[in-house]
Structure 1
Amino acid sequence: MTRTIAFYGSSLLSAYWNGAATYYRGIIRALAKRGYQTTFYEPDVWDRQKNRDIDPPDWARVVVYDGTLEALRRVAAEAATYDIVVKTSGVGFEDDLLLAQVMSAARPGALRVFWDVDAPHTLGEIAAAPDHAIRRWLPDLDMVLTYGGGDPVVAAYRALGARLCAPVYNALDPATHHPVAPEPRFASDLAFLGNRLPDRDARVAEFFARPATLLPENRFILGGNGWHDASFPSNVHKLGHVPTADHNALNCTPRMVLNVARDSMAANGFSPATRVFEAAGAGACLVTDAWEGIELFLTPNEEVLVARDGQDVAEAVRTIAPDRARAIGQAALARVLAHHTYDQRAKQADALFQAHAARLEAAQ
């Protein structure tokens, strides 16, 4: 049975200042294989449309709307024609109003979903704001899905009144992220790819800048938006924004690749970033800062290296030979292909959607 989804998110077409792009693409593409027809509504803000990574795909319809209140209300009204209505966190333009408009427009019987791609951060905002829009809407929503957070996030959302909350974790789309030939411009001992955000600065300084300082003879590369005016040691080469088409080469070429969680995700745990699965899918030797729950996704010291601080990162760069780095990367690739693909995540989401439909039918 074909089911239609109205998906209101930051951007499907552009990863520019949009770390969730890989997640949206993976989930929606995999849901299309299961018979879902998705229309993705994204606002033309933050220069994302000027920095598209992909053309509109054949597995989703994309509607780009102006960053105006009039345009927002117009596309929100279209939610009335869909079986499932999804509003994500972090759309980037009038999020609270968009939530109210699309959920009010959803027809009776439609499945109404808040899909949180930054749950620890969102929950922190809700805790600090008694009148937060999510708090007001939770009793009327059918479910909250998150791309991480585990039991702590589920318990927090349930305590706020969510009827159902379930993590649908980041994963790998092997057709998009996979091993490729190395590219000399990305040659380095350690690479980090991530946009500069206020709640990541201190951790990047510790886990990336400090190792570079400790190892002046090694080469480090840094990709992502916002780092142009940040101070780093001279052995750090800044790439700026790295298009998604270059992510495989960036992951395959360096001896090791670093993941640095945002403060809220590290504190909560159980929140692997999209970069974790992108890197593993390319067979990279991944070094991640320590956070609770990593072993649910990759086995420490066998499929991933876990660092407690910058000194641990420096020690890994200093001691992990290329042969062992390749072995760790291959083990990670095998693990994610077996257990962490978007096809598997879509199967989980489909089961949640079908269970909701069955509950509605039983109640009639």
Structure 2
Amino acid sequence: MRPPFDIVVVGLTLSSSWGNGHATTFRSLLKGLDALGSRVLFLEREKPWYASHRDLPDPDFCTLEFYDEVEELAARYGDDLARAGAVLVGSYVPDGVAVIDTLFQIAPGRVSFYDIDTPVTLARLEQGDEEYLAAAQIPGFHTYFSFTGGPTLSRLENQFGAARALALYCSVEPERYRNTGAATSWDLGYLGTYSPDRQPTLERLLIEPARRLPHKRFVVAGPQYPSAIVWPGNVERIDHLPPADHADFYSRQRFTLNVTRADMIAAGWSPSVRLFEAAAVGTPIVSDDWQGLTELLPNGKAIVIARSPEDVVALLADADEKRAGEMAQAARKIVLEKHTGTARAAELLAALDGLAAPSRSTARAGAA
């Protein structure tokens, strides 16, 4: 029998970053836990889509194993789950309701939920959609960790009965996300999987400015964009960009665009991992507007908020490069101080009230 793990995580995917933001979020968090001395087992449901697009099949910062059916969690990993200091289950886990019920049975009082899709989750629950979480399960979690902060946390406690709801934002790996020194290739770029509710903002803040500025260069990277989209000739398309190439991608942009999903705009306080990645690289950020953003990155000092094509056109046509550089460095300083994987891991461990105390006698500190 192997030694007990401090934390067992059951998540959508760690092995594949294809078409999802969960993998990079978990990678940064788990690397931070490893740096602080925690021993972690990550359990991922074997799915053909992710199996055929794996870019991290064998991580060196945790133990990654795969299961085929919910019943395997008890049959193969029951001892690991029962002996773990804490268990963390993520959003969008296949057969999530059955998975959570199984975890409650094996590790009562030690199961927490990490919702990387909180506004989407709550919107679904209010519609009676319990694809990966049942409303009745929420009071059973030790802690409901939420990708979204602000008023949503009170809503989780008061409306849905969470024993405790805490913000656990995504984070960035500073050793991976730094400027590569590459020459500038694009005036404005965007990195993100296609989403119908993000597309109107992308149209407004990148595609329309590209039409108006035919002499400027633009790029959109990410999979699943419909073939019916008509891209201006000065917009380059990259179908998929693995995490290893993200830093260079940001380094090659004069400005990068952050676009937020509609549910997360409505909820506010929902920073994406792309926001932190671009800031860590030191690329000036243009973003859509939502409540809580300026508390993380002050407008005009660490980020530029754009509401219309005219805002973007004016910025790109007459950018103050010195001011843009100062803004980028201000954002980078904030992110490296508060939003690294190690910083986020420390928040998680503190919130677990000692349930997941590191098992190694000497923690490796300072990875951030």
Q: Is the alpha carbon distance of 1:257 and 1:99 closer, same or farther for their aligned partners in structure 2, counting shifts above 3 Å?
A: same
Q: Give the structure 2 partner of residue 233 of structure 1.
A: 232
Deviation at 1:281, TM superposition (A): 0.4
Aligned to 2:217: 219
Q: CA RMSD in A?
A: 2.3
Secondary structure of the residue that 2:352 maps to in structure 1? helix
Task: Quote how far apart the aligned CAs of 1:335 are.
Answer: 1.9
Compare the two structures and name the one with the higher helix fraction. Answer: 1
Q: 2:360 — aligned with what?
A: none
Which one is further off, 43-52 or 18-27?
43-52
The SS at the match of 1:14 is coil
What CA distance in whole angstroms lies between the structure 1 residues aligned with 2:181 and 2:76? 42
Match of 1:170 in 2: 170
Distance 1:164 1:299 in 2: 29
Give the secondary structure class of the aligned counterpart of 2:139: helix
Tell me if 1:341 matches 2:343: no
SS of 1:202's equivalent in the other structure is helix
Opposite residue 219 of structure 1, the aligned amino acid is R
For residue 354 of structure 1, give the secondary structure of its aligned residue in structure 2. Answer: coil
1:257-296 equivalent positions in 2, closer than 5 A: 257-296=256-295
Amino acid at match of 1:128: Q
Distance in 2 (alpha carbons) for counterparts of 1:210 and 1:69: 46
1:210 corresponds to 2:208: yes
CA contact (8 A) 1:3 1:35 kept: no
- SS of 1:227's equivalent in the other structure is coil
Deviation at 1:208, TM superposition (A): 2.1
Taking structure 1 as the reference length, the TM-score comes to 0.89
Contact 1:85 1:103 in 2 (8 A): no
SS in 1 for 2:101: helix
Q: Which amino acid aligns with 2:249?
A: L
Summarize deviations over 1:118-161 as a string: whole Å, max 9, x none.
Answer: 111111111111877431111221110012x2222101110210
Match of 1:38 in 2: 40
Q: Indicate which of 51, 58, 61 corresponds to 1:56.
A: 58
Contact 2:145 2:165 in 1 (8 A): yes
**1:104 and 2:105 aligned:** yes
How many residue pairs match? The answer is 350
- Matching residue of 1:29: 31
Unpaired runs of 5+ residues, structure 2, are 358-368
Matched, 1:142 2:142: yes
SS at match of 1:170: coil
Q: Answer whether contact 1:190 1:258 (CA < 8 A) is retained.
A: yes
Question: Is the partner of 1:47 in helix, strand or coil?
Answer: helix
SS at the partner of 1:150? coil
Q: Which amino acid aligns with 2:95?
A: E
2:91 pairs with one of 89, 92, 98: 89
Q: Is the 8 A contact 1:13 1:54 kept in 2?
A: yes
Deviation at 1:355, TM superposition (A): 5.8
Q: CA deviation at 1:177?
A: 1.1
Structure 2: which amino acid aligns with 1:138?
I
Contact 2:256 2:284 in 1 (8 A): yes
Distance in 1, matches of 2:356 and 2:249, equals: 43
Runs of 4+ in 1 over 3 A off after TM superposition: 68-78, 130-133, 321-324, 355-358
Residue 16 of structure 2 is matched in structure 1 by 14
Partner Cα distance (1:347, 1:113) in 2: 16
Asked if the contact 2:250/2:283 (under 8 Å) is kept, the reply is: yes
Provide the residue aligned with 1:361 in structure 2.
none
Instruction: Give CA deviations for 1:227-263 in whole Å, capped at 9, x if unaligned.
Output: 2513222211110110111100111111110000011
2:24 partner letter: T
Bigger CA drift: 242-251 or 302-311?
A: 302-311
Residue segments in structure 1 that go unaligned for 5+ positions in a row = 359-364
> 1:322: how far off?
3.6
Percent of aligned pairs with the same residue? 29
- Describe the SS at the equivalent of 1:8: strand
Matched AA of 1:201: Q
Work out the CA distance in 2 between the residues paired with 1:236 and 1:244: 21
Q: In the aligned structure 1, how far is the partner of 2:100 from the partner of 2:223? A: 28
Shift of 1:44: 2.6
How far apart are residue 178 of structure 1 and its match?
A: 1.3
CA contact (8 A) 2:279 2:285 kept: yes
Q: Which residue is 1:251 aligned to?
A: 250
The residue type paired with residue 115 of structure 1 is Y
Q: Deviation digits for residues 179-223 of structure 1, max 9, x if unmatched?
A: 112167xx1110000001233222222222222222222111000
Q: 1:95 to 1:311 in 2, by over 3 A?
A: farther
CA drift of 1:176 comes to: 1.9
- Mean CA deviation greater in 81-90 or 124-133: 124-133
